């Protein structure tokens, strides 16, 4: 393509709200344009990259035997009510009515639609397994869209769904998708890691996320420095923690006056006891379907932190929200002096596994200025769940390595769903014995538009984008230094048509601009390879620039074509 014919509005200035490199450069280099909160237009360059990422995904999925379909974007609300997700998904669902006053949502994901489609067309186990996918715009009304393409409201996603007749079949599908996804992200040139994950609003049993490692990532992931263990903090486990500090010597269990001693630190200092022996009690309001809510106390060791997603899952709630002072008071709770015992019946208490059979503990007495000393959990019937946020330095649950935190961008997520949706939506097939059974499903997503951001987060410098080979909008960027010089123009044009005739995607900068202007645009746009046709043409040479590292070499003009072909192969 010729620069003079392409819409590439590059600019020196970035929008003031852009903080991430990917956001800044994709805007500045004219890939995308903002149209509203979390909404973007893809300009020609952006569309080319999007198509490339989509193509890589499609090729690998088709290779793995998946079939592409395209389901209606507007989906009837009835399906969402049937699956129970209408409430669970909450405000992220964009709802609206048509002229006949029927309710619809814009699809944020398509489990319901796909199950519905398959249940109408697949009747027999002989038709299984089957794996269907689509690459389609999705809409989620995010609480707070930000970071450009990273967290938009409208975005392009590949969503796939597998249907099997047995659990083994489902697991085989899942494993195949894990391999396929690995191939896709590898081809896109990404440094990624597969981590164990929470299933979130999708539901289901096992799930894994594909995380692109980047400091700007929104997710915290926990990785082992010794083995392959890696998990999202929302699902990360750790080896049991022992405490080096001595257990406090407590002769009798009793209330103890602790005026103005409210925090774990204060308590620890006041009693000269390691926080390990203190109970931290976190109060939350849990929201359920139908507007129901319950007060829940999560008890964990003072040395640990609560992981909210785990906490939410532990009580099967839709969401956890903070409790305001009024609600605390009504529940008979005192901030700073909360404890898991002596509570009204309506309050649910969940203990962290780390407290199992704990003794000689200190906790709030649920009374202003008093703590309870010598709390003993041995032989007491309580609910234990894994609630803690794994911290850097904790032991790996798989080996004796140490865990550490790092940041990642979630670009893929694969789930084993089992029969969650097929049961709810009564999607069944007849097995070998003529018996009706719900499909064993898996669901698999890739954030196609988010990948553009992820690729740039991982591949950029202070001058602009550096695309990877398969994602780049063009393979080669030819810069004609001064189009007024006939020989430069001719040589540039000739190289351009030679490359094009070999099927190579070339961007030719034929604008009537100065050299500096053009080279800055090349650096901003980030095509991996550039050829400068300029002043050293008089010595019969051209310059090849590698965008990553900006290495330059002069090559005899007659050898340039071969050199480029060699590098691209």
Find the shortest distance in angstroms from Cβ 209 to RNA. Answer: 20
Can you tell me whether residue 103 is helix, strand or coil? strand
Q: Which of residues 153-172 bind RNA (CB under 7 A)?
A: none
Q: How far apart are the C-alpha atoms of 153 and 512, rounded to whole Å? A: 39
- Which two tokens mark 325? 């002072």
Position among 287, 306, 453, 560 found at the interface with RNA (CB under 7 A) = 306
Task: Tell me: does residue 524 bind RNA (CB under 7 A).
Answer: yes
Name which of 159 and 523 has its Cβ closer to RNA.
523
Residue 240 binds RNA (CB under 7 A):
no
Name every residue whose Cβ is closer than 8 Å to that of residue 55 and which is 6 or more positions away in sequence: none
Neighbours of 195 (CB within 10 A): 25
Return the number of the residue (60 or 141) whose C-beta is nearest RNA.
141
- CB distance 410 to 210 below 8 Å: yes
Piece in contact with RNA (CB under 7 A), picked from 123-131, 206-214, 479-487, 493-501: 479-487
Please, are residues 377 and 409 in contact by the beta-carbon 8 Å criterion? no
Chosen residue from 290, 503, 516, 549 binding RNA by CB under 7 A = 516
Q: Which is nearer to RNA, 288 or 515 (CB)?
A: 515
Q: What's the CA gap between 436 and 426, in Å, rounded? A: 10
- Binds RNA by CB under 7 A, chosen from 4, 5, 37, 253: 37
The interface region with RNA, picked from 94-102, 115-123, 333-341, 419-427 by CB under 7 A, is 333-341
* 280 touches RNA by CB under 7 A: yes
Q: Considering the rule CB under 7 A, would residue 392 count as an interface residue with RNA?
A: no
- The contact pattern for RNA, residues 334-373, with x = CB under 7 A and - = no contact, is -xxxx-------------------------x---------
Q: Give, as ranges, the residues between 393 and 452 that touch RNA (CB under 7 A).
A: none
Decide if residue 540 touches RNA (CB under 7 A).
no
Candidates 65-73, 320-328, 349-357, 400-408; binding stretch for RNA (CB under 7 A): 320-328
- Give CA separation, 120 vs 23, 114, 117, 322, 335, in Å: 43, 10, 5, 43, 55
By CB under 7 A, residue 296 contacts RNA: no
Closer CB to RNA, residue 19 or residue 201? 19
167 Rama class: left (phi>0) / alpha (psi -120 to 50) / beta: alpha
From the list 227, 239, 231, the residue with the least C-alpha distance to 206 is 231
By the rule CB under 7 A, 323 interacts with RNA: yes
State how far the Cα of 98 lies from the Cα of 66, in Å rounded to an integer.
34
DSSP secondary structure, 294-353, as one string: EEEEEEEETTS-B-HHHHHHHTT-SEEEPPPHHHHHHTT--TTS--SSS--TT-EEEEEG
Stretch that binds RNA, among 128-136, 349-357, 375-383, 534-542 (CB under 7 A): 534-542
CB of residue 204 to RNA, shortest distance in Å: 24
Residue with smaller CB distance to RNA, 206 or 264:
264
13 part of the interface to RNA, by CB under 7 A: yes
| Region of 133-141, 193-201, 417-425, 516-524 interacting with RNA (CB under 7 A) | 516-524
Binding RNA by CB under 7 A: which of 543, 555, 557, 564? 543
Strands across the sheet with 361-367, in order? Answer: 254-257, 370-375, 361-367
What six digits make up the tokens of 424?
């709810």
CB-neighbour burial class of residue 333 (10 A; exposed 0-12, middle 13-18, buried 19+): buried
Q: Does 276 sit near RNA (CB under 7 A)?
A: no
Question: For 29-121, where are the alpha helices, taking DSSP H only?
Answer: 44-63, 77-83, 85-88, 111-121
**Number of amino acids touching RNA (CB under 7 A):** 60
Q: How far is the CB of 233 from RNA (least distance, A)?
A: 12
- Kindly report the three-state secondary structure assignment for every residue of 478-515: EEECCCCCHHHHHHHHHHHHHHHHCCCCEEEECCCCCH
- Taking the complex as a whole, the smallest distance from the CB of residue 481 to RNA amounts, in Å, to 4
Other Cβ atoms within 10 Å of 509 Cβ, number: 26
User: DSSP secondary-structure letter at 241?
Assistant: P
Contact status: 145 vs RNA (CB under 7 A): yes
Kindly give, in sequence order, each residue whose CB lies less than 8 Å from that of residue 275, ignoring residues fewer than 6 positions away: 264, 265, 267, 268, 301, 302, 303
Q: Does 17 bind RNA (CB under 7 A)?
A: yes
Please tell me the distance from the alpha carbon of residue 382 to that of residue 294, in angstroms, as a whole number.
Answer: 18
DSSP category for residue 395: B
Bond into 129 cis (ω within 30): yes
Instruction: Report the Cα–Cα distance between both ends of the chain, in Å, rounded.
Output: 21
By CB under 7 A, name the one of 341, 420, 534, 557 that touches RNA.
534
Name which of 67 and 517 has its Cβ closer to RNA: 517
DSSP helix/strand/coil, 568: helix
1 binding RNA? (CB under 7 A)? no
**Residue range at the interface with RNA (CB under 7 A); choices 4-12, 75-83, 121-129, 183-191:** 4-12
Token pair, residue 480, equals: 């004609």
* Position 568 contacts RNA (CB under 7 A): no
Dist CA 329 CA 71 (whole Å): 50
Question: Which residue number, 267 or 506, has a Cβ lying nearer to RNA?
Answer: 267
> Considering only 52-60, 140-148, 373-381, 401-409, which stretch makes contact with RNA by CB under 7 A?
140-148
- Taking CB under 7 A as the binding criterion, the range among 54-62, 277-285, 422-430, 560-568 that sits at the site for RNA is 277-285
Q: Say if CB 306 and CB 338 are below 8 A apart.
A: no
Residue 327 or 431: the one with the smaller Cβ distance to RNA is 327
Under the binding rule (CB under 7 A), the answer on residue 322 touching RNA is yes
Nearer to RNA, 274 or 305 (CB): 305
Q: Does 462 bind RNA (CB under 7 A)?
A: no
Chain residues binding RNA by CB under 7 A are 10-13, 15-17, 19, 28, 36-38, 143-147, 262-264, 280-284, 302, 305-306, 308, 321-323, 328, 335-338, 364, 463, 481-482, 484, 514-517, 519-521, 523-524, 532-537, 543, 550, 552
């Amino acid at each position: 393509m010729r620069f003079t014919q392409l819409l590439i509005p590059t600019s020196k200035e970035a929008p003031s709200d852009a903080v991430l490199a990917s956001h800044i450069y994709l805007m500045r280099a004219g890939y995308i344009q903002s149209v509203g909160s979390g909404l973007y237009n893809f300009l020609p360059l952006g569309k080319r990259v999007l198509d490339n990422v989509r193509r890589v995904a499609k090729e690998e999925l088709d290779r793995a035997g998946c079939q592409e379909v395209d389901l209606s974007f507007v989906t009837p609300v009835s399906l969402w009510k049937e699956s129970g997700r209408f409430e669970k998904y909450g405000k992220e669902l964009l709802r609206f009515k048509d002229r006949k006053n029927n309710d619809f949502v814009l699809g944020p994901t398509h489990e319901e639609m796909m199950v519905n489609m398959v249940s109408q067309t697949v009747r027999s186990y002989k038709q299984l397994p089957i794996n269907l996918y689509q690459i389609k715009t999705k809409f989620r009304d995010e609480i707070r869209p930000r970071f450009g393409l990273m967290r938009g409201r409208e975005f392009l996603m590949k969503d796939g769904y597998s249907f099997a007749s047995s659990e083994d079949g489902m697991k085989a599908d899942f494993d195949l998708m894990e391999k396929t996804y690995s191939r896709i992200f590898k081809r896109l040139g990404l440094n990624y890691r597969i981590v164990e994950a929470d299933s979130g609003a999708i539901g289901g049993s096992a799930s894994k996320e594909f995380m692109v490692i980047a400091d700007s990532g929104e997710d915290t992931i926990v990785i082992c420095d010794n083995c392959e263990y890696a998990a999202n903090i929302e699902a990360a486990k750790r080896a049991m923690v022992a405490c080096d500090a001595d257990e406090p010597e407590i002769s009798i269990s009793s209330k103890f006056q602790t005026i103005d001693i409210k925090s774990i630190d204060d308590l620890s200092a006041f009693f000269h006891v390691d926080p390990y022996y203190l109970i931290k009690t976190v109060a939350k309001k849990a929201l359920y379907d139908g507007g129901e809510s319950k007060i829940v106390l999560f008890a964990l060791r003072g040395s640990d932190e609560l992981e909210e997603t785990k906490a939410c899952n532990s009580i099967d709630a839709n969401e956890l929200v903070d409790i305001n002072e009024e609600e605390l008071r009504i529940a008979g709770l005192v901030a700073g002096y909360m404890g898991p015992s002596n509570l009204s019946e309506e309050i649910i208490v969940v203990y962290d596994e780390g407290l199992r059979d704990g003794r000689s503990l200190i906790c709030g007495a649920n009374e202003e200025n008093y703590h309870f000393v010598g709390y003993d959990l041995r032989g007491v019937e309580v609910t234990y769940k894994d609630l803690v946020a794994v911290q850097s330095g904790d032991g790996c649950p798989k080996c004796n390595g140490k865990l550490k935190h790092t940041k990642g961008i979630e670009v893929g997520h694969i789930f084993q769903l089992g029969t969650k949706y097929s049961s709810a939506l009564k999607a069944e097939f007849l097995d070998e014995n003529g018996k009706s059974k719900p499909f064993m499903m898996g669901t698999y997503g890739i954030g196609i538009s988010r990948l553009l951001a992820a690729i740039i987060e991982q591949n950029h410098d202070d001058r602009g984008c550096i695309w990877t080979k398969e994602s780049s909008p063009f393979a080669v960027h030819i810069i004609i230094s001064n189009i007024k010089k006939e020989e430069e123009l001719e040589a540039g044009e000739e190289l351009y048509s030679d490359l094009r005739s070999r099927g190579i995607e070339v961007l030719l900068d034929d604008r009537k601009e100065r050299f500096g202007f053009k080279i800055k645009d090349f650096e901003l746009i980030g095509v991996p390879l550039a050829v400068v046709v300029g002043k050293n043409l008089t010595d019969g040479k051209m310059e090849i620039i590698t965008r990553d590292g900006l290495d330059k070499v002069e090559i005899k003009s007659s050898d340039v074509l071969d050199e480029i072909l060699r590098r691209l192969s």
